[in-house]
Each structure stands twice: as C-alpha cells, then as structure tokens.
Structure 1
Amino acid sequence: MNHQGPAERSVILGTGSALPARRVTNAELAETVDTSDEWITERTGIKARYIAAPEETTGTLAIGAARAALAAADLKGADIDLIVLATATPDHTFPATATKVQAAIGMTGGMAFDVAAVCSGFLYALSVADSMLRTGMARKALVIGAETFSRILDWEDRGTCVLFGDGAGAVVLGLETSEADDSAPRGILTTELHADGRHHDLLYVDGGPSTTGTVGKVRMKGREVFRHAVVNLAEVMEQVLHRVGMTSADVDWVVPHQANARILDATARKLNLSPEKVVVTVDQHANTSAASVPLALDTAVRDGRIKRGDLLVLEAMGGGLTWGAAVVRY
C-alpha cells in the first residue's frame, strides 16, 4: 500500500470470548428434535453448540467477552470510550445492551450503542468503531458480537433449530501510527460492507415490537441463503484484497462467519484458498450469528494459530441480506 506520510490505524489490542456453561451435542439434540448426528454433521459440519441458561443473557455473555478482551489488552473499562455491540438478540428492546456492558466494566464516560446486522453485525460494528477512532471521536473501543439465538429458535423447525448456538466475542481497538515506509502496517487496513433488502424473506424473524408485539422466531430458506453466501462472500473478499493491493496468496488466515462448513469450503475453493488457512469453529459452536467472527478470532488467537503480524480476512453474511469483509494485520 502506498501512503503519504504517517497513517493512524485501529489496531486489535486484545481479544476475548464467552460461552454459556451448557454444551449440547447433536446426539443430545436428537433426543428432543426429529434429527440425527449424521444428518446435522453431513449438511452443516456442526457437532455441538452452547445453549444459554435462563440467567445467561446476551448481556452477561457480552460482559464476559469484554472482560476477557480487556484483560488480554491489559486495559481497564475506564480506558474505553466507545462500545459498539452487534446483536440481533438484545436483552431488551431498549436500552442498548452495550450500555449494560458499559456499566458492568466500570466505563463511566464515552459512548455505547448496539448495531443490528445479524450475522454480519460484527463486521458492521468493527467498521463503525474503526471510523469513529480514525476521525477522533474515540481513542479506545470495545467491539462486541453477542447472541442468545436459542431464544428465538422454533424448536419444531428441525431445518433451522439445529444450526444455531449462543456465545459472545470481543476485540479491543486502539489507535496506532504507522510510518509511510512501513511495508506491513498493523491494524484494520480496509473494510467493505453491503446490504440488499430485496432478499428480506430468505432469512428473518417473524416478529418484532412494531409488527407483532412479540419476539418471533427465525425463518430461513436455507438453499437460497447458501447460494447467495458463496457468491457474495467470495466477491467481497476479492474486493477488500484488491483495495489493499493483495491477493488470496498474501492471506495468512481467513476468519469467516461460522454458518455452515460447506459454505466455508465452497468460499475457500472459489478464492483458491487452502482450507488449512480457514479458521473453523462451526463444528463446536454452530452459528452464533454476530458472535461467530470474534469468537472464531479469539479461539485462533488463544490456541496460537493467529500470531502478531499475520494478515487476516474477516468476512460474514447474514439476514437483510447484509454482508461484508475486513482486511486486518493482527
């Protein structure tokens, strides 16, 4: 990349995640749902997921992930002046679940708000926080993806209820200046976001405060979503890499939204990416919507796969339809 003079970038200072206590395997799920371990594994690659207990909420999971990320960054809540929390399953219609996190971590100033872009939510939240840091509105940010999707599943709909799980992931962002001659600057190099509301009916929840007055349940046309996902994700990843003058050969790790192992495989093939470069956690966590990218990122950072200096591509697609990608030098 060619830069004129020093550039300030949002750098990931720490990552964290939190999962509910209860792990539910496919076999356990098959005791109450008309399905089988073979059926779920063959179609999705999912082996288990975590399901929140009544006292575990999107807020408590988000707080756990935030505290873990702050500890990894060696910072306190008081050091943060921005929280952007991505979720489709907030604790309350209002206020934003981000304000619960703000109070819990001892952050008394700054800004805290939620972003709703379903499975793409973390990419949207990351992009918003990055923009606010680079324009001087904040200096240090917590970006969180947190969901309790189990609360909005129709457990009679075996095509969708087996796909999702609960969890939270977070990153702490801070500004860092890189010099013009730095050939491998750290931080968020670029982000790209898209939406196309014409495809609303492919993946949505059939409820809401202003339409039904109820929370509603997830409804999905899986085959059509799969088709859009493979095309859109490959396209947006090519766009972000092209923008920073790189190709898939330069990428150390792809950290994708964990919806379905087959989507991950198909997207990697389309980009001629080695499957070994794709971080996969869908087998253990299932689809945790906005939490899935930061959860996968934290998993791979903590097990030593992702190292400082590695070039990452984060990507996701969700209801809306929404999709996006980011290129990050960790």
Structure 2
Amino acid sequence: MPTNSSNSGLRSNAVLTAIGSYVPDSVLTNADLERMVDTNDEWIIRRTGIAERRVTAPEQYCSDLCIEATADLQRRYNVKLDDVDYIIVATTTADMPFPSVSARLQEAFGIEACGAIDLQAACAGFTAALQTANGLLYSGAARKVLVVGADTMTKITDYTDRTTCILFGDGAGALLLEADDSRDGDLLASHSVTTGSGGHQVYMTGLSQSIGEHQLSNPGKIVQNGREVYKWAVSTVPDGIERILSKTDYTVADIDWFVPHSANMRIIESICERSGIPVDRTLVSLVQYGNTSSATIPLALDLAVKDGRLSQGQLVLMYGFGAGLTQAGVLMRWGLPSAE
C-alpha cells in the first residue's frame, strides 16, 4: 500500500470521490428568536456571528437529513452507492437509540452488503468519522465508505434558555471515500484528544442524571457552560493544530482552508489568532445554518465547493471540538474535482 511521503503520522489510501449536503426548508432567524426569548439580532451577531438556522419539521428526523444529503451526493457526482461496504453516521441526535441512523440509510438506498454504525463524538463526530473511515479503507476492511455528519439539534434545544437557543440548527453533510491503492490517499495527518474531566460543561442527560460528582439538570435538553467551553477550545485547539502539522512537512502558511467546527464565530476568531491562521482562510457554515454539531464541517465544505472557493489540490485542515470534551482533526489534500 502507498504511504504519504509528507506524513509521519497517518497512512492513507482514501480518496474523496463525492460530497453532498442538505438542510431543512424552515428558517429560524434572529428576528424570530427576538419574539421567543430576551435577545436581539445585534446581540446574537456580536456574540456568535449567527444570522439564521434551519429547523426540521416535527416529523423530520436525523435519518431523513442523512438520506437527503446522500441523495444530493449521488445526484451531483453520478456515483454508484450499491457497492458501498460501510456507512458511518456521526450524530448525537439519532432518531432513536436503535436501530441506528446508518441502518436507516442503508435501507433507503438498498445497499445489500454493508456494515453500518453510528459514531457519537458530538461536534468532533464528523472528523472522528473520517479518521475511522480511513482506518477501514487502509486496512482493507472496506473499499468504499459513506461518511455522514448530521444532527437535529433543534429537537434537543431548550427555547427558554437564551444563552443556548440562539446557537443551534439542523443539517447534514455527506462524503464518499474510496480506496485507491495506486497512489497516496487524500488524508495526510490526524489528531485526537479527549478531556473527560470537562464532560459536565456540555451535556444532555440520558439514563444517568450525573457525571461523577456533578448532578445534571434539564433532562432531554442540551445544557452548556459556554464560558468554560470557550476557554477550553481556545486554549487547546491551537495545540492540536500544531500537533497535526508536526506530523507533516507543512506549516500554517501552507493551509489553504481551515474548517473548524462552526460553534461560534468568536471562538473561531480566537483559535485563528492563537494558531496564526488568518480568519479569511476559514470556511464556516454557522452564519446561514447555526451550530449543527456533526454537520457543521461538511456543510461548510459543501458551501465552499458550490461557490468555487474550495478546489482540487488545496490543503484543507478540518478540526472538530465539542462535548466529551473531545477533539478530532484531519489534514486533507482536497482531491475532489468539480461536479459535472
């Protein structure tokens, strides 16, 4: 199998062959939120950079978003999906605990011989799923992997909490990765780290109502200590970026596009300042779609593909971070040509 000559930390034969995305039709604007809680458009824009977000219909769930994003991928790139042999869906808002969202996706496209798993790493889920897909492809356990990041965050949002309800939206993005043993893969380096001691800073309750000695509140809704999550992200993500680049011959100056989790524009600006990446070299999806958790990075990628900013051969650094507290980053040489 090939190895990446500029990589001391990740071996890859994974080639990106298609991308797709989907967001629901319903739009929730800052003006709409002004009528729901004590907030206003100027405050939301100044604190987060978010102008609007998309909201699923009552009968629309995570699997529906995944199906639509995958159909978009198939239509735009005219790719076969019946020979996909693994599906990975990154989500924290599955339709139900089981069956998995990935199993619903497998059924929808009639893929006969296919492994299917949901991966839960919150806002780091999509990049963690890319790392997992690369391992499956390089090991030979799979030859064609569909990776989807999707969340219906509005279904777990507390719309009486003015500090969190302004953030979240719904959406999905999908990438198709295939093994190509004739050349180096598109994935160049990766990094993962978890700080479990901070798990109580952002959570949604399940069977347990506590994390260690920390008692949890507001069952079934997301709870976040925004100040602490901000401090954790801006103090640790720049180190993760440096660790990824240290595994290659590249520097910050070589990065064409930085694609962080679109949590909050103020967090992104601080990470860029500390890591030396110009803000104008970032791709985000939060302005139009808000914080869609696992979907923010693929949505940002596809927005840039559609408007021509992201092109074949560019160096792209994706970095997810969120509940856990968990981080996962991937450096990729963008190998996808424009769709016909």
Please indicate the TM-score interval, normalised by the length of the shorter structure. Answer: over 0.9
Task: Quote the Cα distance in structure 2 between the aligned partners of 1:24 and 1:153.
Answer: 13
Q: CA-to-partner distance for each residue in 1:17-69, whole Å, 9 max, x for gaps?
A: 11011011101111112211111111001110001111221110011111222
Q: Which amino acid aligns with 1:106?
A: G
Are 2:268 and 1:240 aligned? no
Whether contact under 8 Å (1:46, 1:284) holds in the other structure is yes
CA distance in 1, matches of 2:281, 2:179: 27
Number of the residue aligned with 1:115: 119
**Offset at 1:255?**
1.1
Instruction: Tell me the residue number matched to 1:182.
Output: none
Contact 1:119 1:316 in 2 (8 A): yes
Distance 2:180 2:274 in 1: 34
Out of 123, 128, 140, the position equivalent to 1:124 is: 128
Give the secondary-structure state (helix, strand or coil) at the position aligned to 1:91: coil
The separation in 1 between residues aligned to 2:269 and 2:82, in whole angstroms, is 42
Q: Gaps spanning 5+ residues in structure 2: where?
A: 211-217, 335-340
Q: Within the alignment, does 1:201 sit opposite 2:200 as a pair?
A: yes
One-letter amino acid of the structure 2 residue matched with residue 208 of structure 1 = G
User: 2:12 touches 2:185 (CA, 8 Å); kept in 1?
Assistant: no
Corresponding pairs, count: 321
- Alpha-carbon displacement from aligned partner over 1:68-99 (angstroms, at most 9, x marks no partner): 22334422220211100000000011111100
Equivalent of residue 218 in structure 1, options 219, 222, 235: 222
Shift of 1:106: 1.8
Cα distance, 1:281 vs structure 2: 2.0
Pair 1:229–1:3, CA change in 2 (3 A): closer
Give the aligned residue type for 1:111.
G
Q: Structure 1 residue 3: deviation in Å? A: 7.2
Letter of the 1:321 counterpart: L
Give SS of 1:199's match: helix
Equivalences for residues 176-325 of structure 1 within 5 A: 176-177=180-181, 179=183, 187-205=186-204, 207-209=205-207, 216-325=220-329
Match among 2, 5, 11 for residue 2 of structure 1: 5
Note the residue ranges of structure 1 that are not aligned, 5 or more in a row. Answer: 180-184
Q: CA deviation at 1:178?
A: 5.2
**How much has 1:100 moved relative to structure 2?**
0.4
- Aligned partners of 2:119 and 2:305: how far apart in 1? 25
Contact 1:73 1:172 in 2 (8 A): no
Which whole-Å CA distance do the structure 2 matches of 1:3 and 1:230 have between them? Answer: 28
RMSD between aligned residues: 1.8
Please give the TM-score of this superposition, normalised by the length of structure 1. 0.93
**Contact 1:233 1:324 survives alignment (8 Å):** no
Alpha carbons 1:145, 1:169 under 8 Å: kept: yes
- Indicate the residue corresponding to 2:109 in structure 1: 105
**CA shift in 2, pair 1:186/1:311, >3 Å:** farther
Normalising by structure 2, what TM-score?
Answer: 0.90
Distance 1:13 1:215, change over 3 A: farther
User: Structure 1 residues 210, 107: CA separation in 2 closer, same or farther (over 3 Å shift)?
Assistant: farther
Q: Measure, in 1, the Cα distance between the counterparts of 2:219 and 2:191.
A: 30
| C-alpha spacing 1:71/1:188, structure 2 compared with 1 (3 Å) | farther
How far apart are residue 274 of structure 1 and its match?
A: 1.7
Q: Distance in 1 between matches of 2:282 and 2:98?
A: 36
For 1:65, the equivalent position in structure 2 comes to: 69
**Alpha-carbon distance in structure 1 between the residues aligned to 2:5 and 2:90:** 32
Give the stretch that moved more between structures: 9-18 or 73-82.
Answer: 73-82
Q: Following TM superposition, by how much is the alpha carbon of 1:242 offset from its aligned partner in structure 2, in angstroms?
A: 1.2
Checking the alignment, whether the CA contact within 8 Å between 1:125 and 1:143 is kept in structure 2 is yes
For 2:327 and 2:42, how far apart are their aligned partners in 1? 30
Superimposed CA distance per residue, residues 264-321 of structure 1 (whole angstroms, 9 cap, x where no aligned partner): 1111111211222101221111100011111111111121111010100000111000
Asked if structure 1 preserves the Cα contact closer than 8 Å seen for 2:25 and 2:54, the reply is yes
Cα offset, 1:232, TM superposition: 1.9
